[in-house]
Amino acid sequence: MQKVLLSVENVQRSLPLGGNQVHILRGVSFEARSGEWIALTGPSGSGKSTLLGILGGIDRPNEGRVFLDDVDLHRLSEAKLAQIRNSKIGVVFQSFHLLPGLTAQQNVEVPLYIGPHSHRAAELALKMLRLVGLEDRAHHMPRQLSGGEQQRVAIARALITQPHLLLADEPTGNLDRASGKQILSLFAELRSALNLTIIMVTHDPAVAACADRRLHLVDGMFAPAAQGEAAL
Ligand SMILES: Nc1ncnc2c1ncn2[C@@H]1O[C@H](COP(=O)(O)OP(=O)(O)OP(=O)(O)O)[C@@H](O)[C@H]1O
Ligand SMILES: [Mg+2]
């Protein structure tokens, strides 16, 4: 059995709203092993994106801990956390977030200019584009690419720093079914080739079924998802 890469202990997140506290996450705990692919489902507003942000070191919990490779992320300084975000965690979003004025290759290179990285950026970006099947599109601008292709560029960008953890917030949400399927096949290939741990938010039960297991959030807590229930 592979080692535990990510350990989440009693994560709570609340925000002040008016005079009240809104409890978004109410004590979430789970572990993810290296090479494991987990689908995170739940109704709109149940806290999926909030949890993903905390796992990715973008947001901090009010209570609880997140260990990545045995490092307690939220006890780190902002600078150290930024370094871990840039080296160990890759993130992809529903709407790709490519920079419109840069080519596919330049977009993929971006994370290498943020932290200290030894590799030659252009060479490595081309290698990543090859990995996602888009080497021949290196010099295309995002607007010249289909949605599925743009998402593949975003995945290449997320993986260029060789992270162990890939967080994906509805990565197929803006894609037609065929392009969505391609992204899911790519995830399957990448997690085997790179021993990636993938945590993927989705509303779609068919998409969730591609993962090894499913965690279902309801109102900020994990709850069993009944068999056959739509993951809404
Ligand atoms: N910055 C914020 N300020 C106030 N409330 C917030 C903030 N961010 C999120 N929330 C609230 O927290 C709850 C969870 O939001 P979150 O975006 O995590 O849900 P989600 O499960 O990702 O939903 P969806 O499926 O619609 O993307 C929602 O009720 C949302 O309104
Ligand atoms: Mg969300």
CATH of the domain at 40: 3.40.50.300
Q: Residue of the nearest CA to atom 29 in ligand 1?
A: 45
In terms of pTM, does the model score above 0.85?
yes
The reply to whether 85 falls in a domain is yes
Determine whether the shortest distance from the Cβ of 41 to ligand 1 is under 6 A: no
Residue 12 has pLDDT above 90, yes or no: yes
Query: How do residues 155-182 score in pLDDT, each as one tens digit?
Result: 999 999 999 999 999 999 999 999 999 9
Write out pLDDT tens, residues 68-86.
999 999 999 999 999 999 9
The CA–CA distances, whole Å, from 190 to 18, 114, 134 equal 44, 24, 14
CA-nearest of 162, 207, 223, 181 to 30 is 223
Separation CA 128–CA 122 (nearest Å): 10
Sign (positive or negative) of CA dihedral 4, 10, 71, 53: positive
- For residue 17, pLDDT beyond 70: yes
Domain count, the chain: 1
Q: Whose CA is nearest to atom 19 of ligand 1?
A: 45
Q: Is the CB of 50 under 6 A from ligand 1?
A: yes
Q: Say whether pLDDT at 225 is over 90.
A: no
Asked if residue 152 belongs to a domain, the reply is no
Ligand nearest to the CA of 217: 1
Sheet of strand 20-33, all strands in order from the earlier edge strand to the far edge: 20-33, 4-17, 63-68, 71-72
In a domain, 11, yes or no: yes
The confidence score (pLDDT) of residue 205 equals 93
Q: Does 196 fall in a domain?
A: yes
* Whole-angstrom distance, CA of residue 23 vs CA of residue 17: 10
Is 90 within 8 Å of 158 (Cβ atoms)?
A: yes
CA of 108 to the centre of ligand 2 (A): 24
| Cα angle for residues 191, 197, 202 (degrees, 5° grid) | 95
| For ligand 1, atom 18: residue with the closest CA | 47
CB of 86 closer than 6 angstroms to any ligand 1 atom: no
- Determine the structural domain holding residue 177 and report its residue range: 4-98+162-222
Answer yes or no: is 66 within a domain.
Answer: yes
- Would you place residue 224 in the very low, low, confident or very high pLDDT band (cuts 50, 70, 90)? confident
What pLDDT score was predicted for residue 231?
Answer: 45
**pLDDT tens, position by position, 100-115:** 999 999 999 999 998 7
Ligand 1 geometric centre to CA of 43 (Å): 11
pLDDT at 230 over 60: no
Mutate to test the pocket of ligand 1, among 24, 40, 169, 207 (most ligand atoms within 8 A of CB): 24
Alpha carbon 122 to its chain's center: 24
Residue 228: predicted pLDDT: 52
CA 143 → CA 18, 107, 121, 208, distances in Å? 41, 13, 23, 29
Q: Is 216 in the pocket of ligand 1 (CB under 6 A)?
A: no
Distance 225 CA to ligand 2 centre (A): 18
Measured in angstroms, how far is the CA atom of residue 192 from the centroid of ligand 1? 32
pLDDT of residue 152 exceeding 90, the answer is yes
> Tell me: the pLDDT tens digits for 44-73?
999 999 999 999 999 999 999 999 999 999
Smallest CA separation from ligand 1 atom 3, residue: 15
Range of lowest pLDDT (94-103, 163-172, 220-229):
220-229
Whether residue 228 is contained in a domain is answered as no
Specify if 156 maps to a domain.
no
CA–CA separation, 96 and 174 (whole Å)? 9
Distance separating alpha carbons of residues 209 and 230, to the nearest angstrom: 11
Please provide the average confidence, as pLDDT, over all residues in the chain.
94
**Is residue 212, in this structure, part of any structural domain at all?**
yes
What's residue 227's pLDDT?
A: 55
What pLDDT does residue 114 have?
Answer: 85
